[in-house]
Homo-oligomer: A and B are copies of this chain.
Amino acid sequence: MLNPSRRSLIRTYNLCFLGFGNVNQALVRLLQAHQHGLRERGIRWRITGVASRRIGWIADANGFDVAEILGGQAAFAGAGWQNVRQWLEAAGADVLLEASPLNPKDGQPAIEYLRAALESGAHAITANKGPLVYAYEELRSLAASHGRRFLFESTVMDGMPIFSLFQGDLPLVQVKGFRGILNSTTNLMLSGMESGLSYEQSLRQAQQLGIVETDPSHDVDGWDSAVKTTVLIRVLMGQPLQLAEVRREGIRQLTADEVRAARSQGKPFKLLCQAGGEDGRLIAKVGPEQIPLSDPLAWVQGTSSMVEFETDLLPGFAIREANPGLEATAYGMLADFVRAVS
Protein backbone atom coordinates (compact mmCIF):
# COMPACT_ATOMS: atom_id res chain seq x y z
CA MET A 1 0.00 0.00 0.00
CA LEU A 2 1.21 3.46 -0.72
CA ASN A 3 1.99 5.50 2.29
CA PRO A 4 0.48 8.89 1.46
CA SER A 5 2.94 10.72 3.70
CA ARG A 6 5.78 9.38 1.57
CA ARG A 7 4.59 10.95 -1.64
CA SER A 8 5.88 14.34 -0.76
CA LEU A 9 9.30 12.98 0.22
CA ILE A 10 10.92 12.12 -3.07
CA ARG A 11 14.54 11.03 -3.00
CA THR A 12 16.88 10.52 -5.93
CA TYR A 13 19.08 7.42 -5.82
CA ASN A 14 22.38 7.04 -7.64
CA LEU A 15 22.40 3.70 -9.43
CA CYS A 16 25.55 1.87 -10.56
CA PHE A 17 25.37 -0.97 -13.03
CA LEU A 18 28.08 -3.60 -12.97
CA GLY A 19 27.96 -5.69 -16.09
CA PHE A 20 25.96 -4.10 -18.86
CA GLY A 21 24.67 -7.00 -20.89
CA ASN A 22 21.10 -8.03 -21.60
CA VAL A 23 19.88 -8.12 -18.01
CA ASN A 24 21.08 -4.73 -16.84
CA GLN A 25 20.05 -3.11 -20.13
CA ALA A 26 16.56 -4.57 -19.71
CA LEU A 27 16.59 -3.23 -16.14
CA VAL A 28 17.36 0.30 -17.32
CA ARG A 29 14.47 0.11 -19.80
CA LEU A 30 12.17 -1.15 -17.04
CA LEU A 31 13.24 1.67 -14.73
CA GLN A 32 12.36 4.11 -17.50
CA ALA A 33 8.99 2.51 -18.18
CA HIS A 34 8.07 2.63 -14.48
CA GLN A 35 9.34 6.11 -13.70
CA HIS A 36 5.88 7.30 -12.74
CA GLY A 37 5.08 4.36 -10.43
CA LEU A 38 8.45 4.75 -8.73
CA ARG A 39 7.85 8.47 -8.24
CA GLU A 40 4.58 7.63 -6.49
CA ARG A 41 6.64 5.61 -4.04
CA GLY A 42 8.98 8.51 -3.48
CA ILE A 43 11.74 7.10 -5.66
CA ARG A 44 13.67 8.92 -8.36
CA TRP A 45 16.85 7.51 -9.88
CA ARG A 46 19.74 8.42 -12.10
CA ILE A 47 22.60 6.37 -13.51
CA THR A 48 25.90 7.51 -12.08
CA GLY A 49 28.06 4.51 -12.88
CA VAL A 50 28.33 1.80 -15.51
CA ALA A 51 31.03 -0.82 -15.73
CA SER A 52 31.48 -3.57 -18.26
CA ARG A 53 34.27 -5.17 -20.24
CA ARG A 54 33.26 -3.17 -23.31
CA ILE A 55 32.62 0.21 -21.67
CA GLY A 56 35.22 0.17 -18.90
CA TRP A 57 34.52 1.83 -15.52
CA ILE A 58 32.63 5.06 -16.11
CA ALA A 59 31.21 7.27 -13.40
CA ASP A 60 29.59 10.69 -13.16
CA ALA A 61 27.94 11.67 -9.90
CA ASN A 62 25.71 14.13 -11.81
CA GLY A 63 24.19 11.29 -13.78
CA PHE A 64 24.54 10.08 -17.34
CA ASP A 65 22.05 10.58 -20.12
CA VAL A 66 20.06 7.34 -20.12
CA ALA A 67 19.54 7.22 -23.87
CA GLU A 68 23.28 7.67 -24.41
CA ILE A 69 24.04 4.88 -21.95
CA LEU A 70 21.60 2.52 -23.68
CA GLY A 71 22.94 3.54 -27.08
CA GLY A 72 26.50 2.91 -25.94
CA GLN A 73 27.25 6.59 -26.61
CA ALA A 74 27.99 7.72 -23.06
CA ALA A 75 30.79 10.20 -22.80
CA PHE A 76 33.57 8.41 -20.99
CA ALA A 77 33.64 11.06 -18.32
CA GLY A 78 35.94 9.91 -15.60
CA ALA A 79 37.02 6.78 -17.42
CA GLY A 80 40.20 5.70 -15.81
CA TRP A 81 38.87 4.46 -12.49
CA GLN A 82 41.09 1.54 -11.70
CA ASN A 83 38.90 -0.49 -9.39
CA VAL A 84 35.40 -0.95 -8.10
CA ARG A 85 35.91 1.05 -4.89
CA GLN A 86 37.17 4.16 -6.68
CA TRP A 87 34.39 3.81 -9.20
CA LEU A 88 31.63 3.50 -6.56
CA GLU A 89 33.01 6.55 -4.77
CA ALA A 90 33.24 8.63 -7.94
CA ALA A 91 29.64 7.63 -8.75
CA GLY A 92 28.37 8.42 -5.24
CA ALA A 93 26.63 5.04 -5.42
CA ASP A 94 23.46 4.45 -3.43
CA VAL A 95 22.70 1.11 -5.06
CA LEU A 96 24.90 -1.36 -6.94
CA LEU A 97 23.04 -3.48 -9.51
CA GLU A 98 25.38 -6.37 -10.21
CA ALA A 99 24.78 -8.63 -13.21
CA SER A 100 28.24 -9.78 -14.22
CA PRO A 101 28.67 -13.32 -15.59
CA LEU A 102 28.45 -16.31 -13.24
CA ASN A 103 31.72 -17.78 -12.08
CA PRO A 104 30.67 -21.15 -10.66
CA LYS A 105 34.20 -21.90 -9.37
CA ASP A 106 34.54 -19.25 -6.67
CA GLY A 107 31.97 -16.52 -7.33
CA GLN A 108 34.64 -13.93 -8.03
CA PRO A 109 35.05 -11.11 -8.89
CA ALA A 110 31.35 -10.50 -8.11
CA ILE A 111 31.84 -11.15 -4.39
CA GLU A 112 34.46 -8.43 -4.24
CA TYR A 113 32.14 -6.03 -6.10
CA LEU A 114 29.27 -6.63 -3.67
CA ARG A 115 31.58 -6.38 -0.66
CA ALA A 116 32.90 -3.05 -1.94
CA ALA A 117 29.38 -1.75 -2.47
CA LEU A 118 28.20 -2.62 1.04
CA GLU A 119 31.37 -1.26 2.63
CA SER A 120 30.92 1.99 0.71
CA GLY A 121 27.39 2.30 2.16
CA ALA A 122 25.46 1.26 -0.95
CA HIS A 123 22.75 -1.40 -1.16
CA ALA A 124 23.98 -4.45 -3.07
CA ILE A 125 21.61 -6.14 -5.51
CA THR A 126 22.73 -9.04 -7.65
CA ALA A 127 21.35 -11.36 -10.31
CA ASN A 128 24.48 -13.49 -9.92
CA LYS A 129 24.30 -16.80 -8.08
CA GLY A 130 28.05 -17.15 -7.54
CA PRO A 131 28.30 -14.78 -4.57
CA LEU A 132 25.43 -16.59 -2.83
CA VAL A 133 27.09 -19.97 -3.15
CA TYR A 134 30.44 -18.75 -1.85
CA ALA A 135 29.75 -15.75 0.36
CA TYR A 136 26.08 -15.53 1.32
CA GLU A 137 26.58 -15.45 5.08
CA GLU A 138 29.47 -12.98 4.88
CA LEU A 139 27.59 -10.57 2.59
CA ARG A 140 24.46 -10.82 4.71
CA SER A 141 26.41 -9.89 7.84
CA LEU A 142 28.26 -7.13 6.04
CA ALA A 143 24.94 -5.65 4.88
CA ALA A 144 23.51 -5.81 8.41
CA SER A 145 26.56 -4.17 9.95
CA HIS A 146 26.39 -1.30 7.43
CA GLY A 147 22.61 -0.91 7.69
CA ARG A 148 22.23 -1.75 4.02
CA ARG A 149 20.40 -4.50 2.10
CA PHE A 150 21.91 -7.41 0.19
CA LEU A 151 19.18 -8.68 -2.15
CA PHE A 152 19.19 -11.29 -4.91
CA GLU A 153 15.62 -12.15 -5.93
CA SER A 154 16.57 -12.62 -9.60
CA THR A 155 18.97 -15.47 -8.95
CA VAL A 156 16.26 -18.15 -8.80
CA MET A 157 13.12 -18.06 -11.01
CA ASP A 158 13.79 -14.51 -12.16
CA GLY A 159 11.52 -11.99 -10.50
CA MET A 160 9.23 -14.51 -8.81
CA PRO A 161 9.03 -13.60 -5.12
CA ILE A 162 10.80 -16.47 -3.41
CA PHE A 163 13.42 -14.89 -1.17
CA SER A 164 11.37 -11.78 -0.45
CA LEU A 165 8.45 -13.97 0.62
CA PHE A 166 10.26 -16.33 2.93
CA GLN A 167 12.46 -13.60 4.34
CA GLY A 168 9.63 -11.19 4.87
CA ASP A 169 6.00 -11.82 4.19
CA LEU A 170 5.72 -15.39 5.45
CA PRO A 171 6.52 -14.99 9.13
CA LEU A 172 7.33 -18.08 11.22
CA VAL A 173 7.31 -20.51 8.28
CA GLN A 174 10.07 -23.12 8.28
CA VAL A 175 11.19 -24.51 4.94
CA LYS A 176 11.99 -28.20 5.32
CA GLY A 177 12.62 -29.06 1.69
CA PHE A 178 11.63 -28.44 -1.92
CA ARG A 179 11.29 -30.01 -5.37
CA GLY A 180 11.54 -27.97 -8.50
CA ILE A 181 12.45 -27.45 -12.11
CA LEU A 182 14.73 -24.44 -12.11
CA ASN A 183 16.89 -24.58 -15.26
CA SER A 184 15.21 -23.37 -18.42
CA THR A 185 17.85 -24.59 -20.90
CA THR A 186 17.57 -28.25 -19.95
CA ASN A 187 13.79 -28.09 -19.63
CA LEU A 188 13.51 -26.55 -23.10
CA MET A 189 15.92 -29.18 -24.46
CA LEU A 190 13.84 -32.01 -22.99
CA SER A 191 10.68 -30.48 -24.52
CA GLY A 192 12.57 -30.17 -27.82
CA MET A 193 13.69 -33.80 -27.79
CA GLU A 194 10.15 -34.92 -26.93
CA SER A 195 8.89 -33.13 -30.03
CA GLY A 196 11.43 -34.83 -32.32
CA LEU A 197 14.67 -32.85 -32.16
CA SER A 198 18.03 -34.50 -31.46
CA TYR A 199 20.06 -33.56 -28.39
CA GLU A 200 22.30 -31.32 -30.50
CA GLN A 201 19.38 -29.68 -32.31
CA SER A 202 17.58 -28.94 -29.08
CA LEU A 203 20.74 -27.45 -27.57
CA ARG A 204 21.14 -25.21 -30.63
CA GLN A 205 17.50 -24.15 -30.34
CA ALA A 206 18.09 -23.09 -26.74
CA GLN A 207 21.28 -21.27 -27.74
CA GLN A 208 19.39 -19.38 -30.43
CA LEU A 209 16.99 -18.16 -27.73
CA GLY A 210 20.00 -16.78 -25.85
CA ILE A 211 19.23 -18.64 -22.65
CA VAL A 212 22.23 -21.01 -22.56
CA GLU A 213 25.22 -20.16 -20.36
CA THR A 214 28.39 -19.27 -22.31
CA ASP A 215 29.68 -22.72 -21.35
CA PRO A 216 26.68 -25.02 -22.07
CA SER A 217 28.04 -27.53 -19.58
CA HIS A 218 26.84 -25.17 -16.82
CA ASP A 219 23.32 -26.03 -17.93
CA VAL A 220 23.39 -29.56 -19.37
CA ASP A 221 25.60 -31.03 -16.64
CA GLY A 222 23.30 -29.66 -13.96
CA TRP A 223 25.65 -27.01 -12.55
CA ASP A 224 23.10 -24.19 -12.79
CA SER A 225 20.46 -26.38 -11.10
CA ALA A 226 22.93 -27.43 -8.40
CA VAL A 227 23.92 -23.81 -7.77
CA LYS A 228 20.25 -22.80 -7.43
CA THR A 229 19.60 -25.75 -5.12
CA THR A 230 22.52 -24.63 -2.96
CA VAL A 231 21.26 -21.05 -2.87
CA LEU A 232 17.74 -22.10 -1.83
CA ILE A 233 19.14 -24.33 0.93
CA ARG A 234 21.57 -21.71 2.22
CA VAL A 235 19.06 -18.87 2.24
CA LEU A 236 15.69 -20.51 2.96
CA MET A 237 16.74 -23.43 5.11
CA GLY A 238 19.69 -21.74 6.83
CA GLN A 239 21.94 -24.75 6.26
CA PRO A 240 25.59 -24.18 5.33
CA LEU A 241 25.52 -26.64 2.43
CA GLN A 242 28.40 -26.53 -0.05
CA LEU A 243 27.86 -26.78 -3.81
CA ALA A 244 30.02 -29.94 -3.88
CA GLU A 245 27.60 -31.63 -1.47
CA VAL A 246 24.77 -31.54 -4.02
CA ARG A 247 24.51 -34.91 -5.79
CA ARG A 248 24.55 -33.73 -9.37
CA GLU A 249 23.71 -35.44 -12.63
CA GLY A 250 22.89 -33.63 -15.89
CA ILE A 251 20.95 -34.59 -19.01
CA ARG A 252 23.95 -35.25 -21.29
CA GLN A 253 23.62 -39.03 -21.10
CA LEU A 254 19.92 -39.02 -22.09
CA THR A 255 19.24 -39.87 -25.73
CA ALA A 256 16.38 -38.27 -27.64
CA ASP A 257 14.87 -41.76 -28.02
CA GLU A 258 14.82 -42.30 -24.26
CA VAL A 259 13.29 -38.87 -23.71
CA ARG A 260 10.55 -39.52 -26.28
CA ALA A 261 9.85 -43.01 -24.93
CA ALA A 262 9.51 -41.65 -21.39
CA ARG A 263 7.01 -39.02 -22.53
CA SER A 264 4.95 -41.52 -24.51
CA GLN A 265 4.85 -43.82 -21.46
CA GLY A 266 3.34 -40.88 -19.55
CA LYS A 267 6.40 -40.40 -17.34
CA PRO A 268 8.47 -37.64 -18.95
CA PHE A 269 12.02 -36.85 -17.87
CA LYS A 270 12.59 -33.61 -15.97
CA LEU A 271 15.82 -32.28 -14.49
CA LEU A 272 14.69 -32.13 -10.88
CA CYS A 273 16.22 -30.13 -8.02
CA GLN A 274 15.40 -31.63 -4.65
CA ALA A 275 16.23 -31.01 -1.02
CA GLY A 276 14.84 -32.59 2.09
CA GLY A 277 15.56 -34.54 5.20
CA GLU A 278 16.24 -38.26 5.09
CA ASP A 279 16.88 -39.86 8.50
CA GLY A 280 17.59 -36.43 9.95
CA ARG A 281 20.25 -35.63 7.33
CA LEU A 282 19.75 -33.04 4.61
CA ILE A 283 19.93 -34.58 1.14
CA ALA A 284 20.31 -32.26 -1.86
CA LYS A 285 20.29 -33.57 -5.38
CA VAL A 286 19.89 -32.64 -9.02
CA GLY A 287 19.22 -35.21 -11.69
CA PRO A 288 16.85 -36.35 -14.45
CA GLU A 289 13.81 -38.14 -13.10
CA GLN A 290 10.70 -39.57 -14.71
CA ILE A 291 7.68 -37.73 -13.35
CA PRO A 292 4.12 -39.11 -13.59
CA LEU A 293 1.62 -36.89 -15.38
CA SER A 294 -0.43 -36.55 -12.19
CA ASP A 295 2.43 -34.45 -10.78
CA PRO A 296 2.19 -30.79 -11.90
CA LEU A 297 5.97 -30.73 -12.39
CA ALA A 298 5.51 -33.07 -15.37
CA TRP A 299 3.63 -30.27 -17.15
CA VAL A 300 6.28 -27.59 -16.78
CA GLN A 301 7.22 -27.07 -20.42
CA GLY A 302 9.91 -25.16 -22.29
CA THR A 303 11.52 -22.33 -20.35
CA SER A 304 8.91 -22.36 -17.57
CA SER A 305 9.81 -23.29 -14.01
CA MET A 306 8.08 -24.38 -10.84
CA VAL A 307 9.08 -25.13 -7.29
CA GLU A 308 7.04 -26.66 -4.50
CA PHE A 309 8.09 -26.19 -0.90
CA GLU A 310 7.72 -28.50 2.05
CA THR A 311 7.02 -26.29 5.05
CA ASP A 312 5.45 -26.58 8.47
CA LEU A 313 2.64 -24.12 7.84
CA LEU A 314 1.82 -23.82 4.13
CA PRO A 315 0.53 -27.13 2.78
CA GLY A 316 1.73 -27.77 -0.77
CA PHE A 317 2.80 -24.19 -1.41
CA ALA A 318 4.14 -23.97 -4.95
CA ILE A 319 5.12 -21.13 -7.25
CA ARG A 320 5.16 -21.32 -11.02
CA GLU A 321 6.59 -19.05 -13.71
CA ALA A 322 5.69 -19.50 -17.38
CA ASN A 323 7.96 -18.65 -20.33
CA PRO A 324 9.79 -15.70 -18.82
CA GLY A 325 11.79 -13.24 -20.88
CA LEU A 326 14.71 -11.04 -19.86
CA GLU A 327 12.25 -8.53 -18.43
CA ALA A 328 11.31 -11.02 -15.71
CA THR A 329 14.92 -11.15 -14.49
CA ALA A 330 15.18 -7.39 -14.70
CA TYR A 331 11.95 -7.07 -12.70
CA GLY A 332 13.50 -9.06 -9.85
CA MET A 333 16.27 -6.47 -9.62
CA LEU A 334 13.87 -3.55 -9.93
CA ALA A 335 11.73 -4.99 -7.12
CA ASP A 336 14.86 -5.50 -5.00
CA PHE A 337 15.74 -1.84 -5.56
CA VAL A 338 12.30 -0.77 -4.34
CA ARG A 339 12.52 -3.16 -1.36
CA ALA A 340 15.98 -1.85 -0.46
CA VAL A 341 14.96 1.79 -0.33
CA SER A 342 11.41 1.42 1.04
Interface residues, chain A, with chain B CB atoms under 8 Å away: 1, 4, 34, 37-38, 41, 144, 159-161, 164-165, 167-172, 293-296, 299, 304, 308, 313-325, 327-328, 331, 334-335, 338-339, 342
Which single member of B168, B314, B335 contacts A172 (CB below 8 Å)? B335
Q: Which 3 A-B pairs have the closest CB atoms?
A: A316-B322, A171-B338, A318-B320
Give the residue of B41, B316, B338 whose beta carbon is less than 8 angstroms from that of A320. B316
Residue in contact with A171 in the complex, picked from B294, B322, B335, CB distance below 8 Å: B335
Contact status of A315 and B320, CB under 8 A, knowing A37-B172, A335-B172, A339-B169: no
> Within 8 Å CB of A171, what residues of B?
37, 41, 334-335, 338-339, 342
Q: Min CB distance, A286 to chain B, in Å?
A: 22
Q: Which residues of B contact A41 (CB under 8 A)?
A: 171
Closest to A34 in B: B172
- A161 & B170 in contact (Cβ 8 Å cutoff): yes
Shortest CB distance A333–B (Å): 12
Asked whether B316 lies within 8 Å of A321 as measured between CB atoms, the reply is yes
Q: Which residues of B contact A159 (CB under 8 A)?
A: 313-314
A1: which B residues are within 8 A, CB to CB?
144, 167-168
**B293 in contact with A315 (CB, 8 Å):** no
How many copies of the chain does the oligomer comprise? 2
Chain B residue at minimum C-beta to C-beta distance from A38: B172
Q: Give bound CA distance, A169 to B335, whole Å.
A: 8
Check A315 against B319 for contact (C-beta < 8 Å): no
Asked, given contacts A38-B172, A167-B1, whether A318 binds B319 with beta carbons under 8 Å apart, the answer is yes
Instruction: Report 27 cross-chain contacts, Cβ distance below 8 Å, ordered by A residue.
Output: A1-B144, A1-B167, A1-B168, A4-B144, A34-B172, A37-B172, A159-B313, A160-B314, A161-B169, A161-B170, A165-B169, A168-B169, A169-B169, A170-B335, A171-B338, A171-B342, A172-B334, A172-B335, A296-B320, A304-B316, A313-B331, A315-B322, A316-B323, A316-B324, A317-B319, A317-B320, A318-B322
Q: In the assembled complex, which residues on chain B have CB atoms less than 8 Å from the CB atom of A342?
A: 171
CA distance A295 to B304 in the complex (A): 13
Residue of B nearest to A322 (CB): B316
CB-CB under 8 A from A37, the residues of chain B are 171-172
- Is the beta-carbon distance between A331 and B314 smaller than 8 angstroms? yes
> In the complex, which residue of chain B has the Cβ closest to the Cβ of A4?
B144
Q: With A313-B327, A317-B160 given, is the CB distance from A294 to B299 under 8 Å? A: yes
A165 to B317, CA, bound (A): 14
CB <8 Å contact, A315 and B299: no
What distance in Å separates the Cβ of A112 from its nearest Cβ neighbour in chain B? 24
User: Considering residues A160, A171, A318, A319, which has the most beta carbons from chain B within 10 angstroms of its beta carbon?
Assistant: A171
